[in-house]
Structure 1
Amino acid sequence: MTQEELTGKVQAALDEIRPFLQSDGGDISLLSIENGKVVHVQLQGACVGCSVNQMTLKSGVEMTIKKHAPQIESVVNVEVN
């Protein structure tokens, strides 16, 4: 799978979960995919200060991305100050 195809699959996964995040006042954006295995994202809006954002990241975002792109090993939130 090319990097472009992988990025498309990850974006499709984010598009699938985005409405749930937006309904709580948050959002997510893809920053990069490292070595075709680690996805770097940035949680935005209400998701930034949410006490359950790590659970959302692992249970929601990572699970959805792995459904679309099983070769992904982990998803990491990059906090931008």
Structure 2
Amino acid sequence: MVDKINDTTNTKIKPLLAEHNGDIELVEVRDGVAYVKLLGACSNCPSARFTMEELVCGVLKEIPGVKNVQMADPIGREMLDFARQLLRK
């Protein structure tokens, strides 16, 4: 499924985002949920939510097995786990 998501992203989503100096990256797929990051100009764009809902989700949910698409946490799990360990001490 990851290959299909990447292929679809490269052919259908990235060219549209590139028109606005943006990009997208697939971070992971877990339990049918694709976690993505918007990059470049799209990362801080006021329309990022609309882009996610209307473009990215709409296109990627057409792929069999993709139940949902969400923005990846800006902070990785490893960093969060490290911070939790520090706070517990």
TM class by smaller structure: 0.7 to 0.9
TM-score (norm 2): 0.76
After superposition, give the CA deviation of every residue in 1:15-64 in whole Å (9 maximum; x if it has no partner).
121011011011000100002x1000111011111111111111101111
Percent identical? 27
Question: Which among 48, 62, 76 is matched to residue 70 of structure 2?
Answer: 76
TM-score (norm 1): 0.82
Gap runs ≥5 in structure 2:
76-89
Contact 2:28 2:36 in 1 (8 A): yes
Q: Which has the higher contact order (CA 8 A, sep 6+)?
A: 1
Verify: 1:22 aligned to 2:37, yes or no: no
- SS for the counterpart of 1:57 is helix
Q: Based on CA coordinates, which of the two structures has the bigger radius of gyration?
A: 2
Question: What stretches of structure 1 move > 4 A for 4+ residues in a row?
Answer: none
| Number of aligned residue pairs | 74
